[in-house]
Amino acid sequence: MSSEFELPFRSDTQLTEVMRLRVQSLQQRGLKRQDGERLLQPNEAVYRLDFSKQSLRFSHWTVQLAQTGRLTITATSQLWTPDLTNLMTRQLLEPVGTFWRAPGDARDAPVNCHEADAHEFGERIAEMAKVRKVMYFLFAFSEGCSPETVDCSITFTVDS
C-alpha cells in the first residue's frame, strides 16, 4: 500500500541573504568570483525541501502562479555551507524545472512546463532524498513572476 506525501518548497531567507552578501562583498571590494563559483542573481532566492521520509517515488508537481510569469527551479547536488564554502556551478543539477503562465492564459488553466524535464527533475529529487534530509534549490523569478505570486510543492508516493 502506498500513500502520497506532499512537500512544500520553503524559502530560506537566511541562506538567500548570506548569498546576497557574498555578491555585495565582491562588488564592494572590486573582486571577481572564484573560477566556477555560482553567484546569486537579483531575481533568485534559495528554497529548501526538508525530507522527513527518505524512500520516495516522484508523483507530481503542484505549481501555482498567480499571474503571468516564469519560474525556473534549479537543484543543488550537494549540501554547501555558505559561511565556509561558495556554491559552485558544478553543484547544480540538470535538468531544471521551468514553469510558466503565458499572457492570455485563463486563471484556472494549468501552469505550463516542459513535462519530460519536470518529470526527470522530480525523479532526481526523489533519488537525492534517499541520501539526505535537506535539499536546496535556486528559484529564478522572471517575466512578472515573484516570490509573492508563487506557490510550489512536490508530491511523492511513499510505500508503506
> What domains can be seen in the chain, in order of their start residue?
2-159 (2.60.120.390)
pLDDT digits (tens, 9 = 90+) for 58-68: 999 999 999 99
- Whether the predicted pLDDT of 84 surpasses 90: no
Return all residues near 17 (Cβ < 8 A) that are at least 6 apart. none
pLDDT digits (tens, 9 = 90+) for 97-138: 999 999 988 878 899 999 999 999 999 999 999 988 899 999
- Whether the predicted pLDDT of 78 surpasses 80: no
CA separation for the pair 141, 71 (Å, rounded): 5
CA separation for the pair 56, 39 (Å, rounded): 31
